[in-house]
Every structure is written in structure tokens, then in C-alpha cells.
A and B are shown apart, each in its own frame.
Chain A
């Protein structure tokens, strides 16, 4: 018992004895490790790898109810995707959503992070408040804003317009306004999380740089443009790519905020589009092909993000 557990093999190996151990012996010896990882591996095989393979095959098939059929034309789902006007709408909506939510959100959250960084006391208090929307469910947020920006003349947003003396707007019911409003809600919901990440980035900048700049007579504006911003470049890149990935995966906000609003395809995001085709029209084959196109985009973005987060800028 004791000899087996207190790893003797290490001693033997160190002395240069080539152990005559087969792979099977080593596998048997580590059997507990396999038992430990088995639930995770089996779960991922069943609920991830098998569905991915299935989706890949299904994207070339034709679905008839729940049965899959193949015919001569294998690429028909992909061909359809390139003709479908909903596809460019969905991806353009991501661009519009990101243009509002990520660009606006990053500038605002960097601003709040800088202010919080200058605060002598009470940082935790404000950080807590700013983060509250991020831990609130998308249903809660989207339902509230669904009412705030309702088309009625009596919705809160329209009442605000009224007090300023403006005419009511059919906010969410207007396709051109829907995605930008969703973006603004996303800014509101994401401000706390981005602020925390900016603050972590700001903490990583050595104080000496600022001290040296003060000695050289730089004012705070100059310090921001010459020290803070360049050194935050990795954080900026990271957050932008993360925001783009988040925009591509956006579903809940758009789905709940547009419930009951006749929209056609104007509010589509890629995932909402997959949902509509797959789960409302039950075109499983076409939905699978769309999911694969989205996957290609997301894999490229994720690899980009991994590359970005590995790179660092220093002034050493």
C-alpha cells in the first residue's frame, strides 16, 4: 500500500532505470484520474461534440419533421443563406448594436473608471451600484425597458419628451430605433462590468510613470493621452473583441424587448435569427447552416481575442 502510493517510480526514473511499463499499465495506475474526469468528458462528448457534429451533418440535409433526408443538392442551405436578406440584416444589426453598445459603453466606462480611480473613499460603494444591472436577469431589464420605451404616448420615455414639449415617438416599434435603443440598454447594463475591467487595467500601470511625467511637467490631459491610454491598449483591444463576440451572441435583450412588437426581420441578431428559423418555423436544417456560418465568424473572433489578450505593451 505504502510503497505503491509513495511514488517509487520517480526515484527509479531519476536513477536512469528505463521502466518496462506499458501504456496500459500507466493507464491502469491512473485509473482514479479517469474516473474523476469522466463526468466532464462524457458530458462534453454528449452535449457538445456530438451536437456540433450533428449540426454539421444536418446543415447539408433536408429536414422533414424530425427526420433527416439527403438529396443531390448538398449545399442548398448554405446557398439559401447567401440569398436570404435576413442574414445581412442580422449581421448588420450586430455592427449597429456594437457601434452603440461597445463604442459608447467603453468610452463611458473608461470615464467612470478614471473618476473612480481618483476617488479617495467609497470606491466599493459606487462599484457595487454600477454592477447591479449586470447581475440582474435579462428578462427583468428588458421587460422594464420594454415598458419605458413603449410606443404609447404614456410610456415613461414619451412622458419625458412631453415634459420637454416634444411629440411622442414610437420608440421600439420603429425598426430604425430598435437596435440603437437595445444598444443603449446594453450600455446601461454593462457599465459596471466594463468599469471593473478598466479599473483592473488602470491598477496595472506603475505609479512611477505618472510621477516621472509630473517631474517633466506634464499636465493630467497629457498624462492621459501619453501614459494611460497607450498602456491600456491591451484592455481596449480585449474589451472591443469581447464586445463584438457578445454582440454576435446577443439574444435575450432583443428577444424580450421586441416581444409583441411586429418587427419582421428588422430586429434580427444572428442568434435570434437561428432561433426564429429553428424553433418557430422548425427549419432545423437551415438553422443549422446559419449556426455554422455564425460559428465560423465567432471562431475567428475568439482566436483574435486569444491573440489580443496574450499581447502586452510595456514601457520598460
Chain B
């Protein structure tokens, strides 16, 4: 009886009212979750904007600053204690990250694109074998290679140079699979027609395959950019020198040194904490911007690869 009553359609007016209240409830709950997600970022930003000699050891949270100052950011550009070459540790890190980014993003998109094209469109003896070889690397975790890689880089003189980050980064099996999946949807007739017109392999690649694969290539380039930007492990192990440390490693070291100072976390400059948080903001900002601008591509990529983070 009660089931019957429930399945009887409600009068249209009260149905709409119910809809609206439930929507409002959803917005309230979801916004609350959103606030929790954003709160640490807000805290990061306001901490980076505190005035010099702000007392971080205090008794209230002080979430709405009465005074803001950009001295923390200024200290990154005009460092009170320069790193090497008169620039700050974080700017030096930023410079190194950019160098690695340029080579790895362009190089890995190019090389993975080439291999993906061969696996998608070419037929050659041993294709299955080589493909299986790459598949195995997905099952075997990269963690097992950490120590031998270190020894290898040491032997070859790549250790503590950006090459230790660039060279292994030029190829990635996920990239090959992702790009191959897209390239196999390019019609063969298009490629054959180009051959018939006398196009060389190089022309086919540069004028048909790569231009048509732009959506997937740019998605992959975005993922690579984010991956290189956020990487701590690689630089920590293989490129851990003052001169060549990347932004993330520089940030890690800077914050580790800051926390070592004691409970107030300040030195004589009075802007150590602010500079640290400013560095965190500078590290987070480009990735957030890239994500917001290209988010449709990235979300698609997450769903395809099941990749998180």
C-alpha cells in the first residue's frame, strides 16, 4: 500500500519545490567540500602575504589578514641570501625546471609519437614482441630500477646533471599507448593516398600523422609538463646538487631548512616563512592554470588511463 502511494506522481508544483530544495541542499554540501579542498590553498596564499616579522607562533588562526605585503615574493626575486650566481634558490630551481621541461615535453612527445605511429600503422616482423616488451614495463614497477640507475648515471657521468632527468624522460610507455590508440583511428586510405602521390615517409609523418594527432599529442604534452613540473623523486635521487636542483627539490630543501630553524621558523630577515609559502604558490600556480585552461583534455586523459594525480 505504502509502495503504491510512493509511486503515485506528486502534483507538479510540489514536485518542483522538492526538486529545488534538493538542488540547494546539493549545492550546500558540495560547496562545503569545495571549501575544505581550497582551504589549504587559501592558507598558503595568506601565509605568503604576511608582513615581515609576522609572528607565526601565535594563539589565533588569523585567517583574514589585516595587512598584506609582497615581501615574501620580493625575497624570491631579490634574495637576502643569494644561492649561486646572485639569484635565489627558488629562481635557480625554476630555471632548471624550465630547461628540463623544454627537452622532455618536446622530446618525449616526438619520440613517443614516432613509436606510436609504427605500432599503429606499420607491419613489421617482431612487432608483437616489441609491443609485449613495452607492456612488461607496465607490470614491472620502476622502483626496482632506482638503485641501478643511480650507479649507471654515476658511471656515465650523468649523475647530478640535468641529463639524468632529460634522457630517461624522452620515452614513456604510457605515452606510446595513449598516442597509438588515437593514431589507429586515422584512416589507412589517407596514408596510402599520400604514398601514391609520391609523398616520402617523412612527409607522411610531418604532414599527415602528426597534424591529425594533435589532440592526443597535446594531451600527452600536458601530462608530461605536469609530471616533470611536480616531480620530486627524480631530482632528489639523480640531480641533487646546488647548481642543478629543480624547483620542487629547491622548495623541499628550502622548507626543510626553514622548519629546522625552530619554533618561530624565522631567521633574521623575518620573511623566511613568507618566502617559503610564496615559493609554494609559485609552484602550484602554473599547474592550476594549465589544468583550468585545458581541463577537458586532462579529464579525458584521467578517465582513459585510470590515472590519478
Chain A residues at the B interface, C-beta cutoff of 8 Å: 1-2, 5-7, 23, 26-27, 30, 32-34, 36-37, 39-41, 43-44, 47-52, 54-55, 58, 66, 112, 115-116, 118-120, 122, 124, 126-141, 143-148, 150, 152-154, 156, 159-160, 162-163, 188-194, 196-197, 200, 214-215, 217, 219, 238, 242, 246, 249, 251-252, 255-256, 259-260, 270-271, 274-275, 278-279, 284, 287-288, 291-292, 294-295, 298-299, 302-303, 306, 309
**Contact between B33 and A130, CB atoms less than 8 A apart:** yes
In the bound complex, residues from chain B placing their C-beta under 8 Å from that of A160 are 61
**Contact between B6 and A131, CB atoms less than 8 A apart:** no
**Is the C-beta of B23 less than 8 angstroms from some C-beta in chain A?**
yes
Would A137 and B283 be within 8 Å (CB), given that A54-B151, A146-B255, A197-B302 are in contact?
A: yes
A32 touches which one: B126, B151, B201, B251 (CB < 8 A)?
A: B201
**Contact between A288 and B147, CB atoms less than 8 A apart:** yes
**Contact between A51 and B143, CB atoms less than 8 A apart:** no
**Contact between A288 and B148, CB atoms less than 8 A apart:** yes
Would A215 and B7 be within 8 Å (CB), given that A44-B137, A249-B143, A278-B150 are in contact?
A: yes
**Contact between A40 and B146, CB atoms less than 8 A apart:** no
CB pairs A–B below 8 angstroms (26 shown)? A36-B122, A37-B130, A40-B115, A40-B176, A44-B137, A47-B149, A51-B152, A54-B151, A116-B30, A119-B23, A122-B27, A131-B299, A140-B280, A146-B255, A147-B259, A159-B59, A188-B40, A189-B309, A190-B309, A197-B303, A197-B306, A255-B232, A260-B260, A284-B147, A291-B146, A303-B139
**Contact between A37 and B145, CB atoms less than 8 A apart:** no
Q: Mark B117-131, 1 if CB is under 8 A from A, else 0.
A: 111001111110010
C-alpha spacing A215/B201, complex, angstroms: 60
Listed stretches B79-87, B165-173, B211-219; interface member: B165-173
Closest Cβ of chain A: how far from B271's Cβ, in Å?
16
**Is the C-beta of B134 less than 8 angstroms from some C-beta in chain A?**
yes
C-alpha spacing A32/B109, complex, angstroms: 19
**Contact between B7 and A260, CB atoms less than 8 A apart:** no
Closest Cβ of chain B: how far from A196's Cβ, in Å?
5
Would A152 and B57 be within 8 Å (CB), given that A132-B288, A136-B230 are in contact?
A: yes
In the bound complex, residues from chain A placing their C-beta under 8 Å from that of B276 are 143
In the bound complex, residues from chain A placing their C-beta under 8 Å from that of B134 are 40, 44
Secondary structure class of chain A's binding surface, majority of residues: helix
Additional A-B contacts beyond A66-B154, A139-B252 (11; CB < 8 A): A7-B192, A33-B123, A55-B145, A55-B148, A112-B30, A119-B26, A128-B291, A132-B288, A190-B308, A249-B143, A256-B255
**Contact between A144 and B143, CB atoms less than 8 A apart:** no
C-alpha spacing A113/B145, complex, angstroms: 37
**Contact between B283 and A154, CB atoms less than 8 A apart:** no
**Contact between B141 and A188, CB atoms less than 8 A apart:** no
**Contact between A36 and B283, CB atoms less than 8 A apart:** no
A58 touches which one: B22, B147, B277 (CB < 8 A)?
A: B147
Closest Cβ of chain B: how far from A52's Cβ, in Å?
6
Would A66 and B256 be within 8 Å (CB), given that A134-B308, A148-B43 are in contact?
A: no
C-alpha spacing A287/B151, complex, angstroms: 13
In the bound complex, residues from chain B placing their C-beta under 8 Å from that of A143 are 251-252, 255, 276, 280
**Contact between B168 and A5, CB atoms less than 8 A apart:** no
In the bound complex, residues from chain B placing their C-beta under 8 Å from that of A30 are 122-125
In the bound complex, residues from chain A placing their C-beta under 8 Å from that of B91 are none
**Contact between A36 and B251, CB atoms less than 8 A apart:** no
Would A1 and B143 be within 8 Å (CB), given that A41-B130, A162-B59, A302-B138 are in contact?
A: no
Closest Cβ of chain B: how far from A20's Cβ, in Å?
16
**Contact between A138 and B230, CB atoms less than 8 A apart:** yes
**Contact between B303 and A156, CB atoms less than 8 A apart:** no
**Contact between A299 and B139, CB atoms less than 8 A apart:** yes
In the bound complex, residues from chain A placing their C-beta under 8 Å from that of B186 are none
In the bound complex, residues from chain B placing their C-beta under 8 Å from that of A6 are 192, 195-196
Find the B residue at minimum CB distance from A160.
Answer: B61
**Contact between B149 and A51, CB atoms less than 8 A apart:** yes
How many chain-B residues does the 8 Å CB contact rule pick out?
Answer: 104
C-alpha spacing A19/B305, complex, angstroms: 41
Closest Cβ of chain B: how far from A123's Cβ, in Å?
9
**Is the C-beta of B224 less than 8 angstroms from some C-beta in chain A?**
no
C-alpha spacing A144/B232, complex, angstroms: 16
**Contact between B168 and A128, CB atoms less than 8 A apart:** no
Closest Cβ of chain A: how far from B228's Cβ, in Å?
11
**Is the C-beta of B229 less than 8 angstroms from some C-beta in chain A?**
yes
Would A295 and B141 be within 8 Å (CB), given that A136-B230, A259-B259 are in contact?
A: yes
C-alpha spacing A270/B141, complex, angstroms: 13
Closest Cβ of chain B: how far from A99's Cβ, in Å?
18
Q: Which of B271-286 contact A (CB under 8 A)?
A: 276-277, 280, 283-284
Q: Which of B166-201 contact A (CB under 8 A)?
A: 167-168, 170-171, 173, 176, 192, 195-196, 198, 201
C-alpha spacing A216/B32, complex, angstroms: 35
Q: Which of B220-251 contact A (CB under 8 A)?
A: 226, 229-230, 232-233, 237, 248, 251
**Contact between A37 and B115, CB atoms less than 8 A apart:** yes
**Contact between A37 and B144, CB atoms less than 8 A apart:** no
Of residues A27, A154, A189, A274, which shows the largest number of chain B Cβ atoms within 10 Å of its Cβ? Answer: A154
Closest Cβ of chain B: how far from A94's Cβ, in Å?
13
Of residues A140, A191, A194, A238, which shows the largest number of chain B Cβ atoms within 10 Å of its Cβ? Answer: A140
**Contact between A52 and B140, CB atoms less than 8 A apart:** yes
Closest Cβ of chain B: how far from A288's Cβ, in Å?
5
